[in-house]
Chains A and B, each alone.
Chain A
Amino acid sequence: MNLIKIKAQYEEVRKQIVDSYVWKSIFRHGYKDIPRNRVLMTASNVFLHLHPSKMRRHGIKVSYTWCAGGLTFLFFLILTVTGVILMFYYRPVGEYAYVDMKYLQFDVPFGMIMRNMHRWSAHIMVILVMLHMFRVFLTGSYKPPREFNWVIGVILLVLTFLLSFTGYLLPWDQLAIWAVTVGTNMARATPLMGNEGPLAEQMRQLTGLITPRYDARSLLTAGTIVGAPTLLRFYVLHCIFIPIATAVLIIVHFWRVRKDGGISGPL
């Protein structure tokens, strides 16, 4: 039959390539598809050994995990790479930040695409992390023994929001400062610790603090308004503190997935 002929031809070509001088100089030996080799592929690769070498069949089904956790991680990586590239061109200073954005968009080769990718990926990551939480809830995957991994997940959810929120300020345009103004204004109303919150007056008399300059909100904004000091503070949080905290917790999260018996499933 035709199919058999094609297959034979394919085998012939494959053999010629694999047996060629060049190929042999790159790959010293072939890969024999046997269980031992399959296990070794995961176990002896520093990146792949994040995975167990064997797993339950439904764990790879898209209909089960929606790929949401894995894709969240992929977007975290995309954001790290594009973010580092942006850092080469961006200065978190009131006078420069906006100009640097323009420079990045119009003069830096591929600058616009890098910025677009960073921005859109940030939105996607926030959506994906919420979807991931939703699927973990719907499959009851937080039930024993995975209780604590859910707790780590909730912290990751908050960190993802904070990453996105601190990044939102950095373009230093109208959208940025006013969105962050609205967001940080909330902290003014923190009970006890915000200068307009319940019991603020009493706390002010008691401690002498809790003024517009020294309260829960100014801790975030580094001043009474969202200004240049806020920009620097958010930049450091966005590029250093929160990404590191997130990366560490992602490692713990993945480690716990394995220690808790791999992807959840019936029984």
Chain B
Amino acid sequence: MAEPHKKAEKIVPASSLTPDKIHTWPFLVRNEFIMGVVTLIAVTVWSILIDAPLESPANPARTPNPSKAPWYFLGLQEMLVYFDPWMAGVVLPSLIIVGLMMIPYVDLNPKGSGYYTFRERKFAVSVFCFGFLILWIFLIFVGVFLRGPGWNFFAPWQEWDPHKVVALTNVDLNMFLAQHLGIDMLRDTVVQAVFGTALIGAYYSLIGVFWKWKSKTIEALQELGVIRYGIVAFLFLTMMALPIKMVLRWTLNIKYIVKFPWIGLNI
């Protein structure tokens, strides 16, 4: 407890076992006040110096190229390159929200609560940082700075040429395999649907394979239990589907893994 009239108190390390309570007034309130005033001055100056954009009046008949969503959604818009809208615009965003909400219930590691640490929760921190910094923030940067007309790539110093032609050489996986491995059967719509489903099934069956393989040896997995493990693994593999499709596109120009034309569903 603070002594009367004692303003500055001795710094006690946060990890110390001694009670290290301080009074909110004046210590926290003072910090909040300073931060608040500095922030208010900063936004006021900024608002005096730089005007918010206002373009020409809304005109439904004139579509700008490119049309970009607000910057914080450009990660999602970027996903549209690799997935159909029902995936990139609906399913994946919903899974992001649900997945975020589940984090506290599937991360049972008691360590690393209330302090910064990487060593004590390597898996959790790596996966979150990959998802947040690369798949969310980095893709926003790509969308804001590197995408121009036709959603084509432009380096920041390149001029946006609306007539830039990029050859559309994307092929679906079944056609790719039919061509390169000579499996003509795969050209058939039904066969490719079965084949593609099997492929995706195999991808997600990694969940079970890994469990069978490691659940006995990795203690954290036993603690997690099969259901929570299944949720984590499912969300993880779904997240990794994005970089996997990105690499497939860049290297082999693959578009769809599987198509179900009867219900308008392609992955």
Q: Which residues of A approach B to under 8 Å, CB–CB?
A: 32-35, 38-39, 41-42, 48, 51-60, 62, 67, 70-71, 74, 78, 98, 101-102, 105, 112-113, 115-121, 123-124, 126, 130, 133-134, 137-144, 146-148, 150-151, 154, 157-158, 161, 164-165, 168, 171-179, 181-183, 185-191, 194, 196-202, 225-227, 264-267
Task: List the B side residues contacting A201 at CB < 8 Å.
Answer: 263-264
Report the contact-size class of chain B (Cβ under 8 Å from the partner). 35 or more
Q: Could you give, for residues 70-107 of chain B, a 1 whenever the CB lies within 8 Å of some chain A CB and a 0 otherwise?
A: 11110011000000111011110000010011011101
**A117:B47 contact, CB within 8 angstroms:** yes
Task: Please name the residue on chain B nearest to A227 by beta carbon.
Answer: B60
Interface residue? B152 (CB, 8 A): no
Task: Please name the residue on chain B nearest to A177 by beta carbon.
Answer: B58
A117 to B49, CA, bound (A): 11
Interface residue? B170 (CB, 8 A): no
A172 to B36, CA, bound (A): 32
| B24-60 interface with A by 8 A CB criterion | 24-29, 31-32, 35-36, 39-40, 43-44, 46-48, 50-60
Which of B111-119, B215-223, B233-241 is found at the contact surface with chain A?
B111-119
A146-B50 CB under 8 A given contacts A174-B62, A265-B115: no
Task: List the A side residues contacting B39 at CB < 8 Å.
Answer: 71, 74
**B23:A199 contact, CB within 8 angstroms:** no
A139-B114 CB under 8 A given contacts A41-B25, A151-B101: yes
Task: Please name the residue on chain A nearest to B86 by beta carbon.
Answer: A189
**A141:B47 contact, CB within 8 angstroms:** no
Interface residue? B178 (CB, 8 A): no
How far in angstroms is the closest Cβ of chain A from B80? 8
**B104:A174 contact, CB within 8 angstroms:** no
Interface residue? B67 (CB, 8 A): yes
**B20:A116 contact, CB within 8 angstroms:** no
Task: List the A side residues contacting B60 at CB < 8 Å.
Answer: 177, 225-227
**A189:B63 contact, CB within 8 angstroms:** no
**B28:A33 contact, CB within 8 angstroms:** no
Interface residue? B12 (CB, 8 A): yes
